[in-house]
Structure 1
């Protein structure tokens, strides 16, 4: 750590002693482990299909040494391979995003950008060769030192709603859960509320900028601090946290019922040429869809908002599929 940055950290810590590592799991709303399994293609019986259309490359390069070795845990992003993650859960107070990144270049790049569907709320983490910047729409952004090329760093942008502070966090290995770096403070003003539904773009912005490098352990946190570093290295914890999987262009659907469909009214229904097209529409176009029924004879694809159904009714040639958690 540079001497100036070190003294800045000490200065800030002295005035905000209540900021510390957020290691409690009840503050973590969503986690994206960014493993090959998360990026699997739609379905079904062909095991080789699950990686055939995945646009991302995964590498065995982790933010910190891990014993015993784990499966590939970081995704290699470039200008043509961004990640779009759907968010429908709104935090009640503080909020923020965290990630581990290893930049490949010091070009101007956008690493994290959240935008609500109605365009009324945006939150962005931007990097240049001379510094980094975190901003919320309608809010003064805050800036800090540049990211280090070729090194793992933990980054975050988080809103302390009660204090009207936008925190920007950068930490280099070894990660010690010291959550203070720099902040933009507007005493007496009301911090912008997080708006949903929306999309978190990882490795790019909606206005064009992209990012080249490795990314691991993206988290959406209901806290002014960021998620503790040790959680990143435990792949099992990252799998279990998503009770409701994020919506994206790729996902795994498991057939759960044959010849039956839910009695409840579907969100909508359409005609598709194949089960794969039906699954893609559920992921990309139907916001609340997590289950679907596909009739192989008529091509009717019906979308549902629930994962599990108690009451079913007979429907010949129809199979009910459920989007699997990661």
Structure 2
């Protein structure tokens, strides 16, 4: 593994006793991989980034890049940030307003001979598609262009690891999605190993080879995007990722194979369904995502539309079953039903995700 964190913990003195900003987090990132940390505000993802950068000292655990130990709480070893060869891109770009674009990119490589420095700047600006802006001032560029200049500046010293703290948070939604795809292509073309922090799920899935979900300082799951979505390791991850609800269910034996009784009917022939004895009496909560619910007027199961959100190609309907349970559904936008209307729905669940029943 290239980057490795082993049971790292950080507690800020001004926090409540026992409340750790980062609570025994472990992760591994291979060379050339793009990792993403996601979670609600205050969950510890930026604190984890600061630990890797060397801006904070861990109270517990060890941080390594390859065979190089960056920090070890047990021995007190702490490599200074400027010695770690780690690049950083911040959400506010942090470009120097009094320097040209080219001089901003050259800032971290002033030790190089002039000719080599000029060549590296040209390479970096060409890489981000902004070679024509070399002589401009940062304020003459758009927000998206400034972010790409910040990336070029961070890549110029050829860091062995790049850390990005919500780099697109100040940009509009459409630009964020496009830049995320461009940034992934740029980093993959250079073989750069990078770790991002974001609060945007679409951004995380667009960027990450591996994604970590944090909650109250704990790294709840560190996995590839497909597994994270379809096999969440905890109830928090299941509820945080995507659009879905938990519905009461019961796992029973159906002619030698397990099936799940839900408010939308019986789910059978599903992959990796838990056995009935996985929960007391088979009673559990099943995760029903919006993409598990299909609009079908012929279905005997009906639900009342409580809310609708137009998303261009589809609506996100919030529905209430006659039995009282709430579910969500993605419905093609040409099915434009009104709030209060009853529609037919059915469940199509390929990945059954269940957790212990929670009290109402």
TM range (shorter): under 0.3
Q: How does the TM-score come out when normalised to structure 2?
A: 0.25
Of Structure 1 and Structure 2, which has the larger fraction of its residues in helix? 2
Structure number with higher relative contact order (C-alpha < 8 Å, ≥ 6 residues apart) = 1
Q: How does the TM-score come out when normalised to structure 1?
A: 0.27
